[in-house]
Amino acid sequence: MLFLLALLSTLHLHHHQALGYNVDDKHPKIFSSEAAAGKSYFGYSVALYAGGEDSVLLVGAPRANSSFFPGVFEPGAVYRCSPANGSCKEWLIDVSGGKPAALSSFERQVKDGSWLGASMDLRVPQEDESTEARVAICAPRWKKETLYAPKRSYMNGMCFSSGVSRRGTSRRYFPLSKTASQTVSLMDGNNYYDHGMAEAGFSVHWPTNSRLQFALGAPGAAIWSGSSLLLTEKLWDSATDNFEATIPKILGDARFERSDYFGYAITSGQFYEPGEVLYAAGAPRSSRTRGKVFVYQFPSHKNTQLLVKDILDGEQYGEYFGSALTACDVNSDGRDDLIIGAPLWSRLSDEGRVYAYVSQGSQKSIHTYAVSEDFCLHYMSLQLHYYVT
Ligand SMILES: [Ca+2]
């Protein structure tokens, strides 16, 4: 989303006329927060819920100091902003307390610098559902610290989910914090980080058709090969920490290499068959930094490999192909299409590029647009429309 906003602002600076019917770049409504002033990165992530009187704009400020945890250094914060009057107020999404906050009898949380609000995604219920809109919000730099010797600190990442209108009630997810999976011993006799630096929630995506499941990207997992995982809410269970996680096996999967950063961005779509939801996640440092995007399903059994359906390749070294993703049906043929950002693609100086893969059933055709062309804004405005509705 950040990339999309950056893209739109870039286009605005170059005085291109907007083609979108739902983007008014002449009369922007500007949201700000005094509490999040300075280096809070207010606006790093955003999610708009357009629900009549309940409408709310959620804004992440991952380097903000929190009014709820005055003793914690820059835990990050999420603000609820009123689309009607523009006012913003911090939202208490993490109700587990300030510092020191116990995680268990032998581990504690380190919320300093946890980047709460770095990523978020919102799901609006479909017409036949009576549930409310829900949002997932992540703190990918959240750490757990062991209280026994030798003390260790692991940047596992934590996420929360909540109903959009419920204030102060949320569920917690720390799926990669199990002690046994923090490091792995390999044949060379050395220990490496498996989940220990995973940064789960670096990206997050809640599919439109999935009421109780959402997906995370964890680009630091498996020696920075990266990973993605699927979380299942248990709304019928009152325990805030009870969840299921589908964690695929990445180490040993030859399709992933160290430092690929798979999970840097994540989305989903019904790309080939209506009703068949596939996930797509980027690995922008794969192929010696040309980047790849994997289209896949999560396995149904634990500790098994992802079911990869397709792999899309970047074209230029260092373009960071796959670091921003979204999906929507740009040509209204009933199949979702995949839009891939490559913000460092360069003709002269990192102009960036957007690739639109238009699905033709089992085959895809590719349309590539440089960001300076108007086509791109057209596609982006379609995406924003899709996102809001
Ligand atoms: Ca389509």
Helix (H, G, I), strand (E, B) or coil at 10: helix
Q: How far is the CA of 147 from the centre of ligand 1 (A)?
A: 52
Distances, alpha carbon 253 to alpha carbons 13, 210, 304, 321, in Å: 44, 27, 10, 21
Q: What is the pLDDT along the chain (389 residues), one digit of tens a residue?
A: 444 444 433 333 333 333 455 677 788 888 988 777 789 999 999 999 998 888 999 999 999 999 999 889 999 999 999 999 899 999 999 887 766 667 778 899 999 999 999 999 999 998 888 888 999 999 999 999 998 888 999 999 999 999 998 655 689 999 999 999 999 999 999 999 999 999 999 999 999 988 899 999 999 999 999 999 999 988 777 777 788 999 999 999 999 999 999 999 999 999 988 889 999 999 999 999 999 999 999 999 888 999 999 999 999 999 999 999 999 888 888 889 999 999 999 988 888 899 989 888 776 666 665 444 434 444 444 343 333 32
Q: How far is the CA of 364 from the centre of ligand 1 (A)?
A: 10
Helix (H, G, I), strand (E, B) or coil at 383: helix
Q: How far is the CA of 15 from the centre of ligand 1 (A)?
A: 29
Q: How far apart are CA 322 and CA 320, in angstroms?
A: 6
Side-chain-side CA neighbours of 233 within 13 Å: the count stands at 21
So where are the chain's domains?
81-370
Say yes or no: domain 81-370 is CATH 2.60.120.380.
Answer: no
Q: How far is the CA of 349 from the centre of ligand 1 (A)?
A: 32
Q: How far apart are CA 163 and CA 78, in angstroms?
A: 14
List, in sequence order, every beta strand (DSSP E) within 272-320: 278-283, 292-297, 307-313
Count of H-run helices and E-run strands, the chain: 4, 26
What DSSP string describes 337-356? EEEEEETT--SSS---EEEE
Helix (H, G, I), strand (E, B) or coil at 2: helix
If you ran DSSP here, which 8-state letter would residue 170 be given?
-
The pair of three-digit structure tokens given for residue 58, joined into one six-digit string: 């959620």
Q: How far is the CA of 275 from the centre of ligand 1 (A)?
A: 14
Q: How far is the CA of 328 from the centre of ligand 1 (A)?
A: 7
Q: How far is the CA of 270 from the centre of ligand 1 (A)?
A: 9
Contact between residue 228 and residue 216 where contact means Cβ atoms under 8 Å apart: yes
Q: How far is the CA of 381 from the centre of ligand 1 (A)?
A: 15
Q: How far is the CA of 94 from the centre of ligand 1 (A)?
A: 38
DSSP H or E segment with residue 9? helix 2-13
Q: How far is the CA of 346 from the centre of ligand 1 (A)?
A: 28
Contact between residue 240 and residue 274 where contact means Cβ atoms under 8 Å apart: no
Q: How far apart are CA 94 and CA 88, in angstroms?
A: 18
Contact between residue 263 and residue 219 where contact means Cβ atoms under 8 Å apart: yes
Q: How far apart are CA 324 and CA 306, in angstroms?
A: 21
Q: How far is the CA of 260 from the centre of ligand 1 (A)?
A: 29
Q: How far is the CA of 271 from the centre of ligand 1 (A)?
A: 8
Q: How far is the CA of 334 from the centre of ligand 1 (A)?
A: 6
Q: How far is the CA of 380 from the centre of ligand 1 (A)?
A: 14
The pLDDT, as a whole number, for residue 4 is: 43
The pLDDT, as a whole number, for residue 26 is: 86
Q: How far is the CA of 332 from the centre of ligand 1 (A)?
A: 5
Q: How far is the CA of 336 from the centre of ligand 1 (A)?
A: 5
The pLDDT, as a whole number, for residue 382 is: 39
Q: How far is the CA of 204 from the centre of ligand 1 (A)?
A: 23
Q: How far apart are CA 193 and CA 186, in angstroms?
A: 11
The pLDDT, as a whole number, for residue 11 is: 36
Contact between residue 158 and residue 138 where contact means Cβ atoms under 8 Å apart: yes
Question: Any idea which residue has 């008014």 for tokens?
Answer: 24
Q: How far is the CA of 20 from the centre of ligand 1 (A)?
A: 18
**CA dihedral for 186, 191, 195, 199, sign (positive or negative):** negative
The pLDDT, as a whole number, for residue 22 is: 65
Q: At what angle do helices 374-388 and 2-13 cross, to 10 degrees?
A: 140
Q: How far is the CA of 357 from the centre of ligand 1 (A)?
A: 9
Distances, alpha carbon 204 to alpha carbons 44, 246, 281, 326, 376, in Å: 14, 14, 10, 12, 24
